[in-house]
Chain A
């Protein structure tokens, strides 16, 4: 046994020594950021690495968190009112119902030093509407037919038909430098050149993207000189990095983290949940049953318990009050179980099975929301069968009008802040996500091309009223965007969901 002990001792010493080396080394390091006299760099944690910097190609929120500080459109979006404001164009007017005239800003330079002129605008618009360029966001600009140079600082944009939303669309159409693009058409994938307040300095794949304030910027100089983006996919780690002082700013925080973070600012988000109902076939074709479903859901409970209050209930529509087409007179369906049961009885509902399709993991607590909604529907007397699908399969179901399920859960984001986006997607009988009859088609098409803002709003309010009584979906909740930041960061998140580093500063 003596020998056994000596062997054991030797091996044990080895294990312990290794352990000591490891823990000992760990204790030696410090991760506290070095004190700096004046902070001029902000480190921002976003969930994922952008896939590209080609702002005209991708539909990618992580990319926009970076590039919205680098590139600009003819018009910019006001972060509070969600109305277009002058950007690279100083003013615009309509020549006729399909031709718009834009006067361009003079004295603007791209971050590579090249001056900004009408040629850049013509190049950029033609590039994105070119069907051979497989832009994922080309659909946003489908109404643009052509663009013509009028002078060095003036262009005309021609639309296929009257398009009242053109100014808003142009806030999404980023202007690129023609010369730089023609010299190197592939370079934009890793480094985009724009006219914005920051220029891209470097992109170390997998690690970080670094921006620096552009000295020649035409507008107000940003307060913070350098920006470093890090990519941390796991929400809890992103929060931990913020708490540890490794990053100064962390986007998309969960409601649960709010109490433990140094500073939190929120804004109404863009995503509204909704449960689309099949109004063209099946059990739910009867509007009374769809109304009953609307009465059956206790959205207040969902907003409070699932989102800890960081969610706002849609007021009879899936619009924020700043959207074109918002009807201030509409109110959310109240939670009224008796009314729901009464309507079901009136409709003669005998417990026929109702298929409710959902997905999980794409949006914050989508799966939990679906379970809550299904339970509430059951409480009201609906015989609901929940069918959870993988995201891409779920998309196929959402887009297939001929096989529309009785109910399908989705989140809807209206990135042009205009009722047309929602109605053409989910109500218009030819819309990609519609299971609604063609009863409102005419009004939707009329409103889409109505150039008089007041008349247009009137049309949309009328549509909203009709949809309230003969619903295409159950209005859900709008989840607030939660940004976590260090104590010394000053920033108010924008209503358009853009991350504007040029509006940030240190205390």
Chain B
């Protein structure tokens, strides 16, 4: 067990290092940050001086060496715009995004699992068709657009909820729903497919012939066996929420999470901040994957930690 986790962690470190390296190289080729930082009227001498002060006039290998040395000391450098340690700027914004993503994911699962199971129990029924249509809608609708429509309906027309910003729980309702819709659609379909497969298995027939209540047949036997695909998909979706959906949704709802920071830092080409953010996000996603891996034996005891 310990050995298994250790090996997984080692793999995680390699992944995070690889992502960081890739981003390091990418940031160096997307353009000159000095041009973005300085006003248009700045002179060539100003630009050279700033490039020197930021240390980006050095050969890329030297920069990379400094970056790696820094990372081993937990130092990603100072954000060029905020003039504060980049890692703490990034970490400061993380809890909010994690909270919102967690709520959205819980919301998605609460609806997706029952709906998927029901559709699988009665394939081609009206409920199945409605669920399929709705989940396709969830997958296809652009979430920034959905967010704006929800604001229009629930804030501007019905006045039930605030449009944007942070405060009590009411401020989280619209962003969480907007964020949940896409994973909800995807997970519902996965649950349905996985359940359809399981319900055809002989062990289901056995369970039923034992005279077991249908509810327990479905929940304790079929659903548990379908668990691996559902959990894997959910983990993947959670990663996508943090590294993807949060970016648009936080901008739409004016929220102080890591997503809006990603947009700003890329626009400003704030290299240290981009690197710190990538590191933080990559770490989150690797950890999620690790946790997901560790739940597998629960669903299928034949899968031992090896």
Which residues of the partner chain B approach A51 to less than 8 Å between Cβ atoms? 79, 81-82, 264, 268
Interface string of B144-160 (1 = CB under 8 A from A): 10001001101110011
List residues of chain A with CB within 8 A of the CB of B44. Answer: 432
- Contact bitstring B12-45, A, C-beta under 8 A = 1, else 0: 0000000000000000001111011111111110
Taking a contact as CB atoms under 8 Å apart, the answer to whether A240 and B155 are in contact is yes
B238 at the interface (CB under 8 A from A): no
Give, as a whole number of angstroms, the nearest-CB distance from A477 to chain B.
Answer: 18
Q: Is there an interface contact between A412 and B40, defined as CB atoms closer than 8 Å?
A: yes
Stretch of B64-72, B211-219, B281-289 at the chain-chain interface: B211-219
Residue with the highest number of chain B CB atoms closer than 10 Å, among A7, A238, A241, A413: A7
Q: How large is the interface on B (under 10, 10 to 19, 20 to 34, 35 or more residues)?
A: 35 or more
A207 to B93, CA, bound (A): 11
Q: Which of A82-90, A136-144, A251-259, A333-341 contacts B (4 or more CB under 8 A)?
A: A136-144
Chain A residue at minimal CB-CB distance from B115: A15
Cβ distance A18 to chain B, nearest Cβ, rounded Å: 5
Query: Which partner residue on chain A sits nearest B168 by CB separation?
Result: A29
| Contact A30 B115, CB 8 Å, known A18-B110, A232-B254 | no
- Interface flags, B130-167, vs A, CB<8A=1, else 0: 00000000000000100010011011100111111110
Are A392 and B33 in touch, CB under 8 angstroms? yes
- Say if the beta carbon of B198 comes within 8 Å of chain A: no
**Given A58-B81, A139-B39, are A232 and B269 neighbors across the interface (CB < 8 Å)?**
no
* Residue B101 is within 8 A (CB to CB) of chain A in the complex: no
- Complex Cα distance, B252 from A10, in Å, reads 37
Which residues on B sit within 8 Å (CB–CB) of A59?
A: 37-39
Q: By the criterion CB–CB under 8 Å, are A233 and B260 in contact?
A: yes
Chain A: interface residue count, which band?
Answer: 35 or more
Residue among B154, B170, B257 with the most chain A CB within 10 A?
Answer: B170
Could you tell me the distance between the alpha carbons of A396 and B148 in the complex, rounded to whole angstroms? 35
* Distance A244 CA – B165 CA, assembled complex (angstroms): 13
- Encoded as 1 (CB less than 8 Å from any A CB) or 0, chain B from 99 to 135 comes to 0000000000011001101100110000100000000
In the complex, A153 has a CB within 8 A of chain B: no
Give which listed residue, B36, B118, B121, contacts A395 with CB less than 8 A.
B36
Do B254 and A395 touch across chains, with their CB atoms under 8 A apart?
Answer: no
Closest to A10 in B: B215
- A391 contacts partner chain B, Cβ-Cβ < 8 Å: yes
Given contacts A142-B43, A424-B41, contact A32 B159 (CB under 8 A): yes
Give the contacting residue for B114; candidates A12, A30, A140, A243; CB below 8 A: A12
**Interface positions of A (Cβ within 8 A of B):** 3-4, 6-8, 10-12, 14-15, 18, 22, 25-27, 29-32, 45, 48-49, 51-52, 54, 57-60, 131, 134, 136-140, 142, 186, 189, 205-207, 230-234, 236-238, 240-241, 243-244, 246, 390-393, 395-396, 398-399, 412-413, 415, 421, 424-425, 432-433
